[in-house]
């Protein structure tokens, strides 16, 4: 009888020890990520999920500073209108946070758009050139300005500086080549799904 | 009703026949792993091919492969000759006048209109005119001739054949596979063509093989297509006898003709399993070479064309443009199932009337393409194009309600590519892009085998199609984001640096498409030019409009326009 | 609402729905059920009917409470089948109140707790059985005398014996008796009046009605295999592992053990192999995973039969293997021919 009791006790202790060891390892991993260059890896992973519009609607001058703020806990994941619900979902999945609606005060989520300069109205003042965060506007003083459509992210930062309001935003053209099959009716849901493949946070090399 | 409808037999007998066929097949011919032995349903083979006369109005969509837009090369009001190029790879199916270039309904699952060239054909022209070549015959087929004659894929996917050939680098293609394995039930156009035009098919295959530099030509046909098989066999034997540069394909890879630069010809049977006619699977069955999903077969030395495309290549060498195709007319509401020769641009209504289908019931559904590979269309104004291999009139859908997945794994047992549809479905519902990639969603053929066997009637193929579209959108967004980030980093480096060009990285930016390569070249040129200190892009304090060149009036006019626009905008929004 | 994209009605291929599958399984159960009712007691039929009725009623209530469509949920026949299977594992004399407890556990804990059809990780019939055998160990192991085998000892004459009446005194099943005898022998009980030294323990089993009942389920199972309703991997690996282990045990054991054939026809081996372990929702789904799953159930059944307090091990073996199915599915988790 006592032998059996000792055996049972031994098994319980062994399981507890195993569980404790596992927890310790998980804890160490989590701490390693949070400190030091583990933070850099997480910031890179978060930055990879942001749409890189560089529009500053989140209140940060670019997507990378916003990513740093998210990781440092200074900003929520609901501040990116160009990313929309998809980005919130992807960030929530990566960081284990709750999915929240986009903060409406930051702006509205729009369909992909590009800026176009009405060349007839452009006066060549070059005020829009420094405003573009990705240098998508080509031109110089007293010469025609034009937006490189492939580079433009639709961030709208060039609209305000233009004194003649000659920059218009147009939806990025979607033709038949961009059409995709809709979801089957039996599974259609009202929520947007990310379908993203977020890069895994790189493992420690040590 | 369809002459071959198995419902006419007792169900038990049909099942027994299918089972016996399956056992016989297993022992003899190369067969797919997975796949389904569907009941043989090949309409219209018991009667000759019907010639549908040219309609008064032809509608030719300016839509290329995968929905790409084609630029028209003609104008409204222009008279065009038969075979004249209306756009890249789109010859005029008849002589006539361009009446309009406008959006019209087309045979596309999106159900949207697309820009089309509307041609009023000269119906007064001699009907035999349709067979006259418009270009001189060539001794050897050239790429330019294929383009000029508009030869494109006639198998259902519509990949432009000239592009297939330009893909192949010099001497890279060693085997041409001619796909006569029409595996989908309900379509018989290829089989009908093989029975009547086997000589043209073999001749076209030889022409393509010589053009591509292939050493072997494999003709693949399902083992139960007896008439077509016999016709092809006879044509191949004739070609082996008459052509000087052909020889039988021996098992050890040598050609049996004795000369080293001969093209070896061989007829291969495959088991009539669906979907053994899918290009990647067919190539594996015929050659043993595995072409991974997403890669072109030409990278692996293989070139695969449909039998109809091979025939079109032969006619192109003789100078005839590719203006018609065979279309199977079938379906539960079709009174006269048949195979018809139809000119491109003929609306469905004309085809159905010419083949004697009678009045359509109001709730009849029209479908273009096969039961598994096709899609429904809303109107009969939709024109026949190169990808329309079947037109069907069906009764309304009576689909079963989907119940939850019971994990029976019938879907993975039957998947010809070896995927796990129930896992993919889970990942698709979750929107987990990484898991979908790992699970091999890109390799999915969208064949529909999993849908057929699923006891829960889950719309698996539709879910995978949707997931693929979403995933490709997500990948595009990721690529654009990477590009934008690179541009932003470059800009930050430029602003932070001392203005020395040597500090800027000369690496090219990731391009999203070919036009942006040019754009990024411009951007690189712009940003690497050393700006003079006073002209640095800081706007400066010089706010006087530089309108002195263009005149003060022009500048004033521009400002006035701007003020008007601002007032208009604030008037609309109600804000100053 | 989007119309279906595939035109499956235009393809002449017989498609079975979930209800069709369940229906075919029920047809396959009929021979074994009738044999069991005839040879062991008509209480079996009463149990089946009661269990099915109570299960359907309970599922209807739960479905209404979950605001789901009642007709399609009940219409797929899955809970009726599970109730039938549960009833077959119960002694015919089981008090109806206890049976209802078992059905309750099956419907609520075994199925709807997890979200209904397709979501349950554990076999619902076995959940019901486990709850019952743990809660009512005496009544669950008390079978009528008709269920037990006769002991051929040297003392009794091998004369014609009348078939045991099903209302005679209650007793244990042959496996139960064998287990007790084994223990007594191995641990050295004083005198074992039940079995002589040279008596064949297999006769214990073979003289009971159980081989006939198992034979009935074997026939039904083979029919299901031929119809393509179940796959061959789980039954083959289960029975194969069980056979191998019984053979090894028989060769190695100091006390005589029943033959392999007798062991495979005892207890719920055939019912478990063809009907219980093959439940698609709770079983592993990949081909390799299914082989390991079946083998694991066979091994655990053997271990539980020989070394546990329970006479038949199938139920807990299935439940234990159900628990590790997600791990097993990783064995078959990658596509066969990726890209």
Give this prediction's pTM.
0.82
How many angstroms away from the CA of B520 is the closest CA of chain C?
33
In this structure, how many other beta carbons lie within 10 angstroms of the beta carbon of residue B466?
23
- The domain in which residue B451 lies consists of 399-501
| Contacts C69 to A, Cβ<8 Å | none
Mutate to test the interface with A, among B382, B462, B475, B488 (most CBs of A within 10 A): B488
Q: For B196-240, what is each residue's pLDDT tens digit?
A: 999 999 999 999 999 998 889 999 999 889 999 999 999 998 888
In this structure, is residue B406 part of a structural domain?
yes
B475: in domain: yes
> What is the domain count for chain B?
1
CA distance A187 to chain C (A): 10
Contact with chain C for residue A3, Cβ under 8 A: no
Interface test with C, best of A184, A187, A189 (most C CBs within 10 A): A184
Interface of B with C in 153-192 (CB under 8 A): 185-186
Residues 2-21, chain C: which have Cβ within 8 Å of A? 2-5
CB B398 within 8 Å of CB B386: no
pLDDT confidence tier of residue B370, bands split at 50, 70 and 90: very high
C3 interaction partners in chain A (CB closer than 8 Å):
185
Query: How far separated are the first and last CA of chain A, in Å rounded?
Result: 48
pLDDT at C143 over 90: no
**Are A184 and C1 inside 8 Å of each other by CB?**
no
Residues C305-310: what's their mean pLDDT? Answer: 81
pLDDT at B35: 87
Cβ neighbours of A188 in C, within 8 Å: 2
Q: pLDDT tens across B253-264, in order?
A: 444 444 456 788
ipTM of the complex, rounded to two decimals: 0.83
Partner residue opposite B466 with nearest CB, options A153, A181, A198: A181
Q: What is the mean pLDDT of residues C221-240?
A: 94
B102 sits in which H/E element: strand B96-105
What lies within 8 Å, CB to CB, of A127 at 6+ separation is: A161, A162, A163, B539
Collapsed DSSP state (helix, strand, coil) of residue B180: strand
Tokens matching residue C274: 């063809």
When pLDDT is averaged across residues B1-24 and rounded to a whole number, the result is 59
Written as tens digits, the pLDDT of chain A (206 aa) is 566 777 778 888 888 888 888 888 777 766 666 556 678 888 888 888 898 888 888 888 889 999 999 988 888 888 999 888 888 888 888 888 888 888 888 888 888 899 999 888 888 888 888 889 999 999 888 888 899 988 999 888 898 888 888 899 998 878 888 889 988 876 555 455 667 666 655 544 44
Q: Per residue in A108-137, is it b (16+ CB within 10 Å) or e — as a string?
A: ebeebbbbebeeebbbbbbbbbbbbbbbbb
Q: Is the residue at B473 inside a domain? A: yes
Closest-CA distance of chain C to residue A203, Å: 22
Residue owning tokens 């569980």: A19
CA distance C140 to B419: 45
pLDDT tens profile C26-66: 999 999 999 999 988 899 999 999 999 999 999 999 999 98
Residue B570, chain C, CB below 8 Å: the answer is: no
Domain ranges of chain A: 20-106, 110-174
Q: Chain A: residue nearest C5 by CA?
A: A184
Residues of B in contact with C231 (CB under 8 A): 409, 413
Residues of B in contact with A124 (CB under 8 A): 546
Chain C neighbours (≥3 Cβ pairs under 8 A) are: A, B
Mean of per-residue pLDDT scores for chain B: 82
| Crossing angle of helices A37-49 and B460-496, rounded to 10° | 120
Domain spanning A110-174 has what CATH number? 3.30.70.20
The torsion of the CA quartet B387, B393, B398, B399, rounded to 10 degrees, works out to -10
E strands, B162-213, in order:
175-180
B497 found inside a domain = yes
> What's residue A36's pLDDT?
63
Q: Answer whether C118 sits within 8 Å of B407, measured CB to CB.
A: yes
Q: Closest-CA residue in chain A for B562?
A: A164
Q: How far apart are CA B278 and CA B144, in angstroms?
A: 28
Cross-chain Cβ contact B418/C335 below 8 Å: yes
Reported CATH class of domain A20-106:
mainly alpha
Residues of C in contact with B41 (CB under 8 A): 11-12
Closest CA to B407 of A70, C121, C126: C121
Contact B397 C286 (CB under 8 A): no
């Amino acid at each position: 009888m006592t032998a059996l009791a000792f055996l049972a006790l031994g098994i319980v202790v062994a399981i507890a020890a195993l569980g404790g060891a596992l927890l310790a390892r998980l804890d160490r991993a989590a701490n390693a990520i949070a400190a030091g260059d583990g933070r850099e890896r997480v910031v890179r992973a978060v930055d990879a999920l942001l749409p890189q519009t560089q529009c500053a609607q989140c209140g940060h001058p670019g997507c990378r500073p916003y990513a740093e703020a998210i990781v440092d806990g200074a900003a929520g994941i609901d501040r990116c209108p160009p990313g929309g619900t998809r980005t919130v979902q992807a960030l929530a999945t990566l960081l284990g946070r709750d999915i929240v609606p986009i903060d409406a005060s930051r702006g509205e989520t729009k369909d992909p758009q590009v800026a176009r300069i009405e060349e007839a109205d452009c006066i060549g003042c070059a005020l829009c050139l420094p405003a573009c965060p990705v240098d998508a506007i080509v031109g110089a003083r007293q010469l025609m300005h034009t937006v490189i459509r492939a580079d433009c992210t639709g961030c709208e930062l060039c609209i305000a500086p233009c004194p003649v309001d000659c920059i218009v935003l147009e939806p990025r053209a979607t033709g038949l080549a961009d059409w995709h099959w809709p979801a089957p009716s039996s599974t259609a849901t009202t929520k947007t799904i990310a379908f993203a493949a977020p890069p895994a946070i790189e493992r420690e090399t040590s | 009703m369809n002459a071959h409808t198995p419902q006419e037999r007792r169900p038990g007998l049909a099942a027994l026949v299918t089972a016996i066929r399956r056992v016989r097949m297993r022992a003899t011919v190369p067969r797919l792993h997975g796949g389904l032995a569907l009941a043989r349903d090949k309409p219209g083979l018991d009667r000759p091919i019907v010639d549908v006369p040219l309609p008064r109005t032809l509608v030719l969509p300016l839509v290329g492969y995968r929905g790409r837009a084609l630029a028209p090369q003609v104008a409204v009001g222009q008279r065009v000759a038969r075979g004249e190029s209306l756009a890249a790879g789109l010859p005029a199916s008849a002589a006539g006048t361009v009446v309009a270039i406008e959006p019209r309904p087309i045979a596309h699952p999106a159900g949207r209109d697309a820009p089309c060239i509307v041609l009023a054909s000269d119906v007064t022209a001699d009907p035999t005119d349709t067979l006259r070549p418009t270009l001189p015959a060539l001794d050897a087929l050239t790429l330019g001739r294929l383009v000029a004659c508009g030869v494109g894929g006639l198998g259902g996917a519509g990949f432009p054949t000239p592009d297939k050939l330009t893909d192949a680098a010099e001497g890279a293609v060693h085997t041409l596979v001619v796909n006569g394995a029409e595996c989908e039930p309900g379509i018989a156009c290829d089989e009908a063509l093989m029975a009547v035009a086997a000589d043209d098919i073999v001749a076209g295959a030889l022409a393509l093989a010589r053009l591509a530099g292939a050493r072997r030509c494999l003709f693949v046909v399902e083992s139960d297509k007896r008439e077509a098989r016999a016709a092809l066999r006879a044509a191949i034997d004739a070609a082996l006898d008459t052509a000087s540069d052909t020889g039988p394909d021996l098992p050890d890879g040598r050609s049996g003709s004795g000369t080293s630069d001969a093209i070896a010809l061989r007829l291969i049977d495959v088991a009539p399993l669906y979907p053994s006619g899918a290009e990647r699977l067919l190539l594996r069955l015929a050659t043993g070479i595995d072409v991974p999903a997403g890669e072109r077969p030409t990278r692996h030395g293989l070139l695969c064309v449909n039998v109809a495309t091979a025939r079109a290549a032969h006619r192109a060498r003789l100078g005839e443009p590719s203006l018609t195709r065979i279309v199977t007319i079938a379906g539960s509401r079709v009174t006269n199932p048949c195979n018809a020769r139809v000119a491109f641009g003929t609306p469905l209504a004309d085809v159905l009337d010419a083949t004697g289908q009678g009045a359509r019931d109001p709730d009849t559904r029209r479908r273009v393409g096969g039961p598994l590979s096709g899609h429904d269309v809303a109107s009969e104004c939709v024109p026949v194009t190169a990808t329309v291999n079947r037109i069907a009139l069906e009764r309304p859908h009576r689909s079963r309600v989907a119940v939850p997945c019971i994990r029976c794994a019938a879907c993975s047992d039957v998947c010809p590519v070896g995927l796990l549809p129930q896992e993919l479905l889970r990942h698709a519902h979750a929107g987990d892009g990484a898991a979908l990639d790992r699970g091999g969603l890109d390799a999915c053929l969208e064949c529909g085998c999993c849908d057929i066997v699923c006891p829960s009637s889950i719309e698996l193929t539709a879910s995978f199609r949707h997931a693929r579209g979403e995933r490709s959108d997500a990948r595009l967004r990721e690529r654009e984001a990477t590009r934008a980030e690179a541009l932003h980093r470059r800009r930050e480096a430029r602003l932070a640096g001392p203005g020395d060009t040597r500090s800027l990285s000369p690496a090219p930016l990731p391009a999203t498409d070919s036009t942006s390569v040019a754009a990024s070249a411009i951007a690189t040129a712009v940003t690497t030019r050393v700006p003079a200190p006073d002209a640095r892009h800081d706007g400066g304090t010089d706010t006087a409009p530089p309108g002195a060149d263009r005149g003060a009036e022009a500048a004033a006019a521009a400002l006035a326009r701007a003020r008007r626009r601002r007032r208009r905008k604030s008037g609309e929004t109600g804000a100053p | 609402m989007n119309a279906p994209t595939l035109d499956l009605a235009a393809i002449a291929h017989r498609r079975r729905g979930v209800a069709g599958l369940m229906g075919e399984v029920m047809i396959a159960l009929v021979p074994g059920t009738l044999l069991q009712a005839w040879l062991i007691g008509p209480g079996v039929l009463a149990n089946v009917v009661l269990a099915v009725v109570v299960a359907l009623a309970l599922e209807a209530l739960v479905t209404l409470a979950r605001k789901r469509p009642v007709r399609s949920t009940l219409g797929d026949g899955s809970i009726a089948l599970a109730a039938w299977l549960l009833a077959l594992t119960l002694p015919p004399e089981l008090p109806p109140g206890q049976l209802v407890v078992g059905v309750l556990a099956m419907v609520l804990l075994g199925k709807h707790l997890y979200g209904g059809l397709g979501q349950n990780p554990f076999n619902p019939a076995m959940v019901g059985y486990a709850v019952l055998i743990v809660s009512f160990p005496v009544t669950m192991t008390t079978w009528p005398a008709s269920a037990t085998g006769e002991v051929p000892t040297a003392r009794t004459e091998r004369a014609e014996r009348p078939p045991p009446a099903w209302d005679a005194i209650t007793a244990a099943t042959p496996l139960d008796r064998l287990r007790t005898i084994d223990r007594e022998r191995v641990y050295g009980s004083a005198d074992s009046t039940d079995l002589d030294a040279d008596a064949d323990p297999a006769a214990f089993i073979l003289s009971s009605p159980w081989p006939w009942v198992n034979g009935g389920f074997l026939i039904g199972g083979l029919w299901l295999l031929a119809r393509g309703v179940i796959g061959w991997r789980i039954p083959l690996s289960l029975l194969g592992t069980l056979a191998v282990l019984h053979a090894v045990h028989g060769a190695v054991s100091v006390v005589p053990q029943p033959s392999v054939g007798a062991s495979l026809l005892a207890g719920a081996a055939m019912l478990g192999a063809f009907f219980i372990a093959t439940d698609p929702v709770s079983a592993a789904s990949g081909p390799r995973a299914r082989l390991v799953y079946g083998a694991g159930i066979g091994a655990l059944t053997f271990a539980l039969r020989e070394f546990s307090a329970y006479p038949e091990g199938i139920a807990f073996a299935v439940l234990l293997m159900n628990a590790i199915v997600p791990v097993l599915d990783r064995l078959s988790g990658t596509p066969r021919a990726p890209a």
